[in-house]
Chains A and B, each alone.
Chain A
C-alpha cells in the first residue's frame, strides 16, 4: 500500500501468513481447527434460529448484489484476489439463489472510484447474471467505494417493485472506508421507509457504519474469517428472510408452461407447442439456432424458452414449473431442530449414515418425532439439503400422518 505501484504484488512481497496459527490445540491437546468449529456452531445456531416459530417468509425476493470494486479488492488475503474470490462465490450464490428462490429476481451493481455502476438489471434469468459476473473478472479495481451511491442506486431500482415482494440489498464490502457525496443517514432513513433490507458482508474488519445500516434496515452484518467462512456467509443469504412488518397478501399471476413432448400432461397437446422455434433466451446471441421441439412455451403469449424459471420477455409473466414451487415450499415448513443430547451407550451408530459413534464425539442429535439419533454431519445435511428427516420418512406411521 505504501508503494506507488501496488497493482502487482509478488508472493514474497505480500504479508506473512502464519497458517499454523489458525490451528489451535484444545484443552485435551487435540488439534482442532477453530474455524471449522466456529462454522459448525454458527450453522447449528442458524438452523435453530430459523426453525423457531412460524414466521412469514418473503418468497418473492428482489435482491440487488453490490460488489465492492475499489482498490482494496486487489489484496490477496483471499485467493487469488479478494475480487476474484468474491466473483467466484457469487456465481455459486446466483445459482443457488435461483435454485431455492425460483420466483425471485436479482440484479448486480459494482462500486468503485466513488461511483456506482449497474452491471445487470433486476431479472430472473440466472444465465445472464453469471455471464455478467464472468465478464467482471477483467475489471480493474481502483479508487474508493461509495456506499451511499450504490445504496441509492439500488434503492431506485427496488422502489417500484410490488409491495408483496421482499426488497433486499446485499453488499460485499472490502473497503474500510466509504466516500460519500452526502449524509448517509438520510439514505439509511430512506431505505427504511422503503422497507428495504440491507445485509452487508465485510471482507476485512467491522466497520461501524455498515453495522448501523444493517441494524437499522433489519439486515445482517457479518465479517469473514477466511474464504470458507465467506462462502458460508454468502450462501446464508440464499435463504429467504423473514418478512419485516406485515406485507399485504396478494395474488401473483404465474404461468406454468408445459410443452415438452415427454411430459404429456394434457395442457399443451396442440401441435404448435412442439413446432421448432427460436428460444427467446438465446435469440440475441450469435450462436442461436433453431431449437427442436423441446422447450417451454409461455401459456400467455406462446414464446419459447429453453429453461425455467424465467420471466417471459414478451408478456412479463413469471414462468415456473410446479417442482420449483414445491422446492420453495420447504422454507415455509422447516423441519424441527433436532435436540442435542449427550451420547448414551446404547446408540452405537448414526441412523442416517450408519457411522459408528466414536468415544470422542460427545454430542448426538435426536429427532423429536421419530426419536432417531443422527450425527452432527447428518444433522446439518438433513437441515441444509434434504429438508426431511430420514427417520420420519422411513417410518410408515409418521410418513402416513404427514401426507394426511
Chain B
C-alpha cells in the first residue's frame, strides 16, 4: 500500500508482485478509492483490467464489499460509480440475439440491428428489424446517467431489463463518467478496440493490469496478424460480394458513393465521428498525422479500391506459393509489393480505414463474412505503418508435418512496447501486478517504460504453507531433466514416473502435474504405460489428462474435481502454457501438490521466437538466454502458483529438473516462493522428497484457527497501532524496496 501510494503521489507507473490470495485486489481498490476521495482533482478514474470474465466478477464483488464498508462507516450513500464492461455476448439482453453462442455472431447480429443506416432505414420502413433495447437507450439513456453504485454484468443486465435499455451500450456510454471501470485487457491494449471503447478516458486515471505476467504476449498478439490460404480464399469471395454490391449501388443510388468520395477528400477525421455503433471495423493505431491527411486518390472511388484490394490479396497469394521459409522485414515487403504489383506504401496505410468506410457506405449489415478481409486490411495498414519492430515470416508448411503444404504468413510483432506505449503515455499511473512477475527488472525493459516503484512482496504467514522443493535425481541417482539430450532416456522417464507415483501415495486429494509440451506429455505417458507406471498410479489416484481439445479438457477437469471431492483423489497431467496453467485455480484440496516436470522453455526452433529474440537483443540488449529463462521461469512460477490461493491454503511445489537448482533459474522465481525454498530442499532425490512431504503434510493438517494467525498475519486494530508493529512495518517497507 505504501508503495502504491508513492507511485500515485509521483504520478508514475509501478510494478508490484504480490502472491495470490493475499488481498491484492482489495488493497488496490481500497487505496485507490481512498485516494480518489481525498484528491478528487488529481485522480478521477480507476480502470481495472483483468483477464477473464470470472476474474472481472471477482473484482466487482470486492468493490461491492468495499462500498458497503464505506457506507457502514461513513453512514451515507457513496457517490462512486463502479462498472464492469464485457463483450456484447455477455451483456446482450435481446431475446434472440443473446441466444447466440459465438461472440462474433452476436457482434454481427447486434451490428445489423443497431448500425446507424439500419436505423435510418427503419425510420423509413417499419419492416426493417431493429433492437428495441438500443432504441430505448438511445432515446432516454443518454440523458440520465446511471445512479451511483456498483454494477457487475448481471446487475447491468437487470437494470437494462428494467429500463428496457441496452446494457452494453449503456455501459459503454457510462464509462466516460464512471469512477471505476473494470474490463478486459483487450479494451485497452488492442488498438482496434481501444480506439472505440477507451478513447475518452481522461488522462488523470489509474490503470491497473491485474494478472499481468503475460502482458507482453497480449501486446504482441494484439498487433500480430496471421494469414492462411483459406483466409485468402475467403477474402476473394468477399471482394466479389463487394464488387457486386458496388455495381448494384451504382445503378440505384450513385449519389451515396459520390458523397463518400467527397467525404474522403475532406479527410478521415470527420468520417469517424459519431459512429460509435459501427465499431467492428476500426483501424489499428494510426499515427495521428495520418488521420489528418486525406485518403490518397488512388483508392478514393469504390471500384478502384476494390481493384486495389484484389491486387493486394492476389499478391499475398503469390507470396504464399513458396517452397521454402521466407523471412523479411516490412520494408522489404513494401519494396517487393511495389515492384511486383505497383502498390505504394501510402494507399496501403489507408486500407483498413478505407474498407471500414466502404462497408458503412454499402450498408452491409452482416459483418461476420468480412472478417477475413478485415484481417488482411489490418495487415496492410500495419505493414505499411511500422517498419520497425515487426517481421514477416512465410512458412510453406508446419514443422510437424513437413510434407503437407499449409502455407501461412505470419506478420509478427516483435516489440511488445508498441501496443502498450499509448497506455503508458496517456495515463498518469499504470499499475502492473500479478502473483508472479519475477524477475521484475525484465518487464520495464521489454515494455519500454520507467516505473517509479518496482516491488516484490512476500507473504507474512503464521505457518509455512508452501513447500517448494527441487528434485534433481531419482532413487537410482540418475539426474532428472527434460533437457533435449536426455528427453528420450528411459531412465529419466522412469524416474519421473516413480516420483509421481510416490508423491501420489503420500499426498491426499488432488495433484496437478505440468509438462513442458503436449508432445512431451504424450511421449512420457505412452512410455509410462509400457513401464507399468500408469497402473501403479491408478492404485492411488485416478488419472486425467489435458488435451488440446478444449471441450475434452473441461470434461476432464469436471471429473477431476469430482474425484477430489469424493476422496478418491486424482492426478491431472497438463501442460505449462496450456489452458489449465493459466486460468484455473486449484485451491485447497484440488491442488495439494504441483509437480513441474522439466523447465517449460518455449519451442526455441520457432522462427517467430527467434526473430523476437534477435530483436530483443539488438534493441534492448537482452541476451537470448536471459529472455528464454525469464519466460520459462515465469511460466513455471505461474504453474506453481496454481495451488496456492490464500493464507489458509497449503500446497507442495515440486520442481523436478536438475537445472532448477542453478542460481540463474532459482533467482528468477518469485520472492514469495524463494523465501520458502531452503537450500536443504534444493537437490533432493525422490525418497527424500517424499519423506519431507509426509512430515510437512502432517504439520499442515493440524488445526489452524484464526487465533493462531492473530498477531502474525492478521492484526487487530490495537496491534496495528502498537509501536512495535509500526516499527516492523517500516523495516519491511525499507527491506523490500530497491
Query: Could you tell me which A residues sit within 8 Å of B by CB distance?
Result: 1-2, 15-18, 21, 38, 72, 77, 144, 147, 176-180, 183-184, 202, 204-210, 222-225
Asked if A178 and B567 sit within 8 Å, CB to CB, the answer is: yes
B536 within 8 A of A: yes
B507 within 8 A of A: yes
Asked if A206 and B508 sit within 8 Å, CB to CB, the answer is: yes
Known: A176-B540, A224-B698. A208 touches B564 (CB 8 A): yes
Q: Contact check: which of A15, A204, A207 meets B567 at CB < 8 Å? A: A207
- The residue in chain B whose Cβ has the minimal distance to the Cβ of A143 is B539
Contact residues in B for A207 (Cβ distance below 8 Å): 508-509, 567, 589
B288 within 8 A of A: no
In angstroms, Cα B566 to Cα A147, docked, is 10
Asked if A205 and B567 sit within 8 Å, CB to CB, the answer is: no
In angstroms, Cα B564 to Cα A208, docked, is 8
Contact residues in A for B687 (Cβ distance below 8 Å): 15-16
Contact residues in B for A204 (Cβ distance below 8 Å): 506, 508, 694, 697-698
Among A1, A176, A180, max chain B CB count under 10 A is at: A176
Asked if B567 and A223 sit within 8 Å, CB to CB, the answer is: no
Known: A2-B501, A2-B502, A16-B691. A178 touches B698 (CB 8 A): no
B41 within 8 A of A: no
Q: List 17 other contacts, CB 8 Å, given A144-B539, A184-B567, A225-B702.
A: A15-B690, A18-B691, A72-B505, A176-B569, A177-B567, A178-B566, A179-B568, A205-B700, A205-B701, A208-B564, A208-B588, A208-B589, A209-B565, A209-B567, A222-B701, A222-B703, A223-B701
**Can you give 14 contacting A-B residue pairs, CB < 8 Å?**
A15-B690, A176-B505, A176-B506, A176-B507, A177-B540, A183-B566, A204-B508, A205-B507, A205-B697, A207-B567, A208-B588, A209-B567, A210-B567, A222-B702
In angstroms, Cα B508 to Cα A224, docked, is 15
In angstroms, Cα B694 to Cα A2, docked, is 16
- The residue in chain B whose Cβ has the minimal distance to the Cβ of A225 is B698
Contact residues in B for A224 (Cβ distance below 8 Å): 698
Binary CB contact string for chain B from 303 to 329 against chain A (1 if under 8 A, 0 otherwise): 000000000000000000000000000
Asked if A205 and B536 sit within 8 Å, CB to CB, the answer is: no
Asked if B501 and A205 sit within 8 Å, CB to CB, the answer is: no
Asked if A225 and B699 sit within 8 Å, CB to CB, the answer is: yes
Asked if B701 and A180 sit within 8 Å, CB to CB, the answer is: no
B688 within 8 A of A: yes
Asked if B700 and A147 sit within 8 Å, CB to CB, the answer is: no
Among B501, B566, B588, max chain A CB count under 10 A is at: B566
B541 within 8 A of A: yes
Contact residues in A for B592 (Cβ distance below 8 Å): 205
Asked if B700 and A180 sit within 8 Å, CB to CB, the answer is: no
| B119, chain A: closest CB distance, angstroms | 54
- The residue in chain B whose Cβ has the minimal distance to the Cβ of A72 is B505
Contact residues in B for A222 (Cβ distance below 8 Å): 701-703
In angstroms, Cα B540 to Cα A222, docked, is 22
Known: A147-B567, A176-B540. A15 touches B691 (CB 8 A): yes
Asked if A177 and B565 sit within 8 Å, CB to CB, the answer is: no
Binary CB contact string for chain B from 471 to 510 against chain A (1 if under 8 A, 0 otherwise): 0000000000000000000000000001001100111110
Among B698, B699, B700, max chain A CB count under 10 A is at: B698
Query: Could you tell me which B residues sit within 8 Å of A by CB distance?
Result: 498, 501-502, 505-509, 536, 539-541, 564-569, 588-589, 592, 687-688, 690-691, 694-695, 697-703
Asked if B697 and A206 sit within 8 Å, CB to CB, the answer is: yes
In angstroms, Cα B508 to Cα A77, docked, is 16
Contact residues in A for B569 (Cβ distance below 8 Å): 176-177
Contact residues in A for B588 (Cβ distance below 8 Å): 208
Contact residues in B for A179 (Cβ distance below 8 Å): 568
Q: How many pairs, one residue from A and one from B, have CB atoms within 8 Å of each other in the complex?
A: 91
- The residue in chain A whose Cβ has the minimal distance to the Cβ of B540 is A177
In angstroms, Cα B508 to Cα A210, docked, is 11
Among A2, A178, A183, A184, max chain B CB count under 10 A is at: A2
In angstroms, Cα B39 to Cα A61, docked, is 66
Contact residues in A for B536 (Cβ distance below 8 Å): 1-2
Contact residues in B for A176 (Cβ distance below 8 Å): 505-509, 540, 569
Asked if A205 and B703 sit within 8 Å, CB to CB, the answer is: no
| B467, chain A: closest CB distance, angstroms | 12
Asked if B697 and A184 sit within 8 Å, CB to CB, the answer is: no
Asked if B702 and A223 sit within 8 Å, CB to CB, the answer is: yes
In angstroms, Cα B699 to Cα A144, docked, is 25
Contact residues in A for B507 (Cβ distance below 8 Å): 176, 205
In angstroms, Cα B565 to Cα A205, docked, is 16
In angstroms, Cα B697 to Cα A357, docked, is 37
In angstroms, Cα B539 to Cα A229, docked, is 29
Asked if B568 and A205 sit within 8 Å, CB to CB, the answer is: no
Which 3 pairs across A and B sit closest by C-beta, in order of nearness?
A209-B567, A223-B701, A208-B589
| B559, chain A: closest CB distance, angstroms | 14
Contact residues in B for A180 (Cβ distance below 8 Å): 566-568
In angstroms, Cα B688 to Cα A16, docked, is 7
| A68, chain B: closest CB distance, angstroms | 13
Known: A204-B508, A204-B698. A1 touches B501 (CB 8 A): yes
In angstroms, Cα B541 to Cα A208, docked, is 14
Asked if A205 and B694 sit within 8 Å, CB to CB, the answer is: yes
Asked if B701 and A206 sit within 8 Å, CB to CB, the answer is: yes
- The residue in chain A whose Cβ has the minimal distance to the Cβ of B475 is A2
Known: A2-B498, A15-B691. A202 touches B701 (CB 8 A): yes
Contact residues in A for B694 (Cβ distance below 8 Å): 15, 77, 204-205
Known: A1-B502, A17-B691, A177-B541. A208 touches B698 (CB 8 A): no
Contact residues in B for A18 (Cβ distance below 8 Å): 691
In angstroms, Cα B691 to Cα A183, docked, is 33
Asked if B568 and A206 sit within 8 Å, CB to CB, the answer is: no
Contact residues in B for A144 (Cβ distance below 8 Å): 539
In angstroms, Cα B131 to Cα A72, docked, is 65
- The residue in chain A whose Cβ has the minimal distance to the Cβ of B499 is A2
In angstroms, Cα B567 to Cα A180, docked, is 9
In angstroms, Cα B163 to Cα A403, docked, is 77
Contact residues in A for B690 (Cβ distance below 8 Å): 15
In angstroms, Cα B507 to Cα A222, docked, is 16
| B147, chain A: closest CB distance, angstroms | 42
Known: A15-B687, A184-B567, A205-B697. A1 touches B508 (CB 8 A): no
- The residue in chain B whose Cβ has the minimal distance to the Cβ of A210 is B567
| B380, chain A: closest CB distance, angstroms | 56
Contact residues in B for A16 (Cβ distance below 8 Å): 687-688, 691
Known: A176-B508, A204-B508. A209 touches B566 (CB 8 A): yes
Contact residues in A for B695 (Cβ distance below 8 Å): 21
| A158, chain B: closest CB distance, angstroms | 21
| A172, chain B: closest CB distance, angstroms | 15
Asked if A1 and B509 sit within 8 Å, CB to CB, the answer is: no
In angstroms, Cα B694 to Cα A77, docked, is 10
Contact residues in B for A77 (Cβ distance below 8 Å): 694
Contact residues in B for A17 (Cβ distance below 8 Å): 691
Contact residues in B for A184 (Cβ distance below 8 Å): 566-567
In angstroms, Cα B597 to Cα A365, docked, is 54
| B350, chain A: closest CB distance, angstroms | 61
In angstroms, Cα B565 to Cα A176, docked, is 13
| A231, chain B: closest CB distance, angstroms | 15
Q: Contact check: which of B498, B539, B564, B698 meets A205 at CB < 8 Å? A: B698
Contact residues in A for B540 (Cβ distance below 8 Å): 176-177
Contact residues in B for A2 (Cβ distance below 8 Å): 498, 501-502, 536
- The residue in chain B whose Cβ has the minimal distance to the Cβ of A176 is B508
In angstroms, Cα B507 to Cα A72, docked, is 13
- The residue in chain A whose Cβ has the minimal distance to the Cβ of B566 is A184
Known: A2-B501, A15-B691, A177-B541. A206 touches B567 (CB 8 A): no
| A10, chain B: closest CB distance, angstroms | 14
- The residue in chain A whose Cβ has the minimal distance to the Cβ of B688 is A16
In angstroms, Cα B590 to Cα A209, docked, is 12
| A335, chain B: closest CB distance, angstroms | 24
Asked if A177 and B702 sit within 8 Å, CB to CB, the answer is: no
- The residue in chain B whose Cβ has the minimal distance to the Cβ of A1 is B505
Known: A16-B688, A72-B505. A208 touches B701 (CB 8 A): no
